């Protein structure tokens, strides 16, 4: 079932990553999926029983080829 969130609500929901980019319904592969996809970082968030789960921990990373430039976790770690 497609996401049936109110259009006004969709306008104000934002990705919980630091750039707060707008979200679009569905996933890149399935626009009718119960999910919201970030228009900037490409993360996909589930919508369960009408509840958008906007948690970075529960996001699906973008499918290959899409940039993920704003992830706070992507900076080179370990100081290596």
Partner 1 sequence: MARSFDDLLAEAAAVPVAGWDFAWLAGRATERRPSWGYQRLLRDRLAAASSALDVQTGGGEVLAGAAPFPPVQAATESWPPNVAEAARRLAPLGGVVVASTDEPPLPFADGAFDLVSSRHPATVWWDELARVLRPGGTYFAQHVGPATMFELVEFFLGPRPQARLLRDPETEAADARAAGLEVVDLRTERLRAEFLDIGAVVYFLRKVVWTVPGFTVEAHRDRLRALHELIRRDGSFVAHASRTLIEARKP
Name the residues that contact partner 1, by CB under 8 A.
5-6, 8-9, 11-18, 20, 22, 49-55
Phi and psi at residue 5, in whole multiples of 5°?
-65, 145
Q: State in angstroms the smallest separation of the CB of 16 from partner 1.
A: 4
Decide whether 5 or 66 has the Cβ nearer to partner 1: 5
What whole-number distance in Å separates Cα of residue 27 and Cα of residue 43?
9
Q: State in angstroms the smallest separation of the CB of 64 from partner 1.
A: 25
What whole-number distance in Å separates Cα of residue 38 and Cα of residue 21?
6
Contact 23, 38 (CB under 8 A): yes
Decide whether 13 or 26 has the Cβ nearer to partner 1: 13
């Amino acid at each position: 079932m497609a996401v049936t969130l109110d259009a006004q609500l969709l306008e104000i929901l934002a990705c919980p990553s630091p750039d707060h980019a707008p979200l679009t319904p569905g996933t890149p592969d399935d626009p009718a999926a119960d999910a919201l996809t970030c228009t900037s970082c490409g993360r996909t968030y589930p919508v369960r029983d009408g509840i958008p789960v906007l948690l970075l921990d529960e996001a699906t990373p973008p499918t290959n080829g899409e940039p993920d430039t704003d992830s706070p976790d992507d900076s080179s770690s370990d100081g290596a």
